[in-house]
Structure 1
């Protein structure tokens, strides 16, 4: 089995490549640094030659809605076209829990990407992840107002990048799902509480304020919108374990 990982140098991509090697398959890491550009199509035809499976873990350079829509619309279209020409038998794409219901900000872009993949004749699997632990850290920066950080008091099961990569690799070496697999962490947290713990752990003394109108990646989220379905695949690493590793 020959698996091409597009976005192979990113946080999830590099871990997915390592996990696929553990499965004993032939892995082809693909990235812009290696001469393949999904937004222009440059190098895609050659990179996908002989591929059985394509794993798309690319991400937009900005989490804003317009930039994300432009990136995923163009990149996913180019990738699906090249995959179809190469005779790829399974297309795996990473998405986010909440994409099907929020339809705003970054979530809207991911929902439209999912639709592109589903409309394609290539058998597909969509892996939806809850927010990464790293996303909580990223989110605390734009949500800051002076010495105060505004965070929506919503429930979620944040997950480690390692657990997401393991799930993606497992899906990639299996038969196409023709649907979704949700991946989440083992514990439920409130996002504002989690942010406060993260800031305290790194010595950041800013106050975290629960704000129901604070956006998460450009979308206003309901209390349970970021929670996965009851049958979600649960990872192993807890927030405390992730913090200890850092």
Structure 2
């Protein structure tokens, strides 16, 4: 089966490609390095010729609403249009648990991505997964000051490898529209995760200050709301697997 992976060189995409290849499929990486530009549409038609499935894990690193919306709108429109022209039979997209409940600039872009997929002519599956284990570190990485301000919210972090496995599973199944939400095995406090990450040497040592963010991550808005797949790798498991020597240096 020919499966095209948009964002196939990224954190999740690389693992999706490896998983598909290990299962005997023929993944095609959609990236600029392979002559494909999602923002202009260049190279998409040629890359998707003969493709059975598209898995979209493309991403942009930003906290600006305009940048997020522009990326997911432009890239999503080009990708779904090329998939329609190529006769793709299944379009799988990775999204985020709570994306419709948390007011966040990046999430606004992800919601736009979902809207484009839903409105397209290609049968689709959207998998909403919870945050990855490095989420607390990502929140602190943009704070250069002497303290780390971390939301009080709770999350149920999942291993990126388990997300890749789930996407590979969905790619070869019939389209489901909204797939059951994927989450990790255990609820965690973001504040506690941040402190444990610092203690393990994975982030700069400094006080963690919990804050309540209206409309944000409080009240369990990032937690799954129904039954679905649950990973097995806990946050503590993930911490033990990391090599934080570069961070300490």
| TM category, shorter | over 0.9
Instruction: Verify the 8 A CA contact 2:154 2:217 in the aligned structure 1.
Output: no
Scaled by the length of structure 1, the TM-score of the pair is: 0.93
1:74, CA displacement in angstroms?
0.2
How do residues 184-223 of structure 1 correspond to structure 2 at under 5 angstroms? 184-202=183-201, 204-213=204-213, 220-223=216-219
CA contact (8 A) 2:91 2:125 kept: yes
| Cα distance, 1:192 vs structure 2 | 0.8
Are 1:244 and 2:243 matched, yes or no?
no
Deviation string 1:25-62 (CA, Å, 9 cap, x unpaired) is: 22112211211110000110001000000000000142
Q: Which runs of 5+ in 1 are unaligned?
A: none
1:105–1:54 Cα change, 3 Å: same
The match for 2:136 is 136
Alignment RMSD: 1.5
What is the Cα deviation at residue 191 of structure 1?
A: 0.7
Structure 1 segments of 4 or more deviating over 3 A?
A: none
Matches within 5 A, 1:75-224: 75-142=75-142, 144=143, 146-202=145-201, 204-213=204-213, 220-224=216-220
> Once the 2 structures are TM-superposed, how far is the Cα of residue 145 of structure 1 from its aligned partner?
6.0
Unaligned runs of 5+ in 2: 243-249
Q: What is the TM-score with the length of structure 2 in the denominator?
A: 0.92
Q: What does residue 225 of structure 2 align with?
A: 229
**Superimposed CA distance per residue, residues 100-128 of structure 1 (whole angstroms, 9 cap, x where no aligned partner):** 22253111111111011011111001111
